[in-house]
């Protein structure tokens, strides 16, 4: 996402950023806790989860290198109202919250990029809600694997059946059946604690339209000319 900024908007950006390694399963944002920084994932994948009073949890949003956390800060909230943990270990570029807000105030095109990214994130969240409600588990698994592969830039994903079941809000047995079916179709290979994508084309064929729709939302947000709004 930061690479999509214009050169003049990246001036001095490295001075505001600290590269931080995030281990898998680490929590980044407490529920209703105060915010102190904004994270721009480089190759980490962050899952935003909603928890119910029953104790059940489900992923309601995913942030990779196409976006940033906390998106609530762009909406001028002072606390994050969902929990966020690192699903795929990796690095984030971390910016102090006060510097982020200064850039939002002083740099119109930087602010517009952040708003467009937030809009794409909201679209994705809404799309995935529909996906959970209407699409088969196999299609959801294919969509999640494709999107995560895009975010980390590699084919091998450290992932267990249990964690994917939690993210999709379905039974572990349903995820196991779906992954076995995708493996039988030659789309993936399952290892212990890992899933490797061996045919992206076959995985796309098994996925629902939500993968392409969400990808296009971010593509438009990041790569439409920013000058159009100021011409």
| pLDDT tens column, 132-173 | 899 999 999 999 999 999 999 999 999 999 989 988 989 999
| pLDDT tens column, 191-224 | 989 999 999 999 999 999 999 999 999 999 988 6
Tell me if 40 sits within 8 A of 2, measured CB to CB: yes
> String of b and e for 154-189 (b: at least 16 CB within 10 Å)?
eeebebebebbbbbbbbeeebbbebbebbeeeebbe
List the domains of the chain with CATH numbers: 2-132 (2.60.120.10), 136-207 (1.10.10.10)
As a whole number of angstroms, the distance between CA 76 and CA 150 comes to 29
Q: What is the mean pLDDT of residues 47-60?
A: 81
pLDDT score, position 162: 92
What percentage of the chain has pLDDT greater than the value 70? 89
């Amino acid at each position: 996402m930061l690479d999509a900024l214009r050169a003049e908007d990246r001036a001095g950006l490295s001075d505001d950023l600290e590269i931080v390694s995030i281990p898998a399963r680490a929590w980044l944002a407490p529920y209703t806790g105060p915010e102190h920084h904004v994270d721009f994932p480089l190759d980490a994948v962050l899952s935003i989860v909603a928890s119910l009073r029953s104790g059940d949890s489900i992923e309601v949003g995913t942030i990779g290198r196409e976006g940033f956390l906390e998106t609530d800060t762009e909406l001028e909230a002072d606390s994050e109202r969902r929990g966020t943990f690192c699903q795929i270990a990796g690095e984030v570029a971390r910016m102090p919250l006060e510097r982020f807000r200064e850039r939002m105030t002083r740099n119109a095109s930087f602010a517009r990029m952040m708003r467009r990214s937030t809009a794409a994130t909201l679209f994705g969240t809404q799309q995935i809600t529909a996906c959970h409600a209407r699409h088969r588990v196999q299609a959801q698994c294919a969509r999640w694997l494709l999107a995560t592969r895009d975010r980390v830039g590699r084919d091998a994903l450290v992932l267990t059946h249990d964690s994917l079941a939690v993210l999709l809000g379905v039974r572990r047995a349903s995820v196991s059946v779906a992954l076995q079916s995708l493996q039988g179709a030659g789309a993936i290979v399952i290892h212990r604690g890992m899933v490797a994508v061996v045919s992206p084309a076959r995985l796309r064929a098994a996925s629902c339209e939500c993968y392409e729709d969400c990808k296009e939302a971010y593509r438009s947000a990041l790569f439409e000319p920013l000058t159009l709004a100021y011409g």
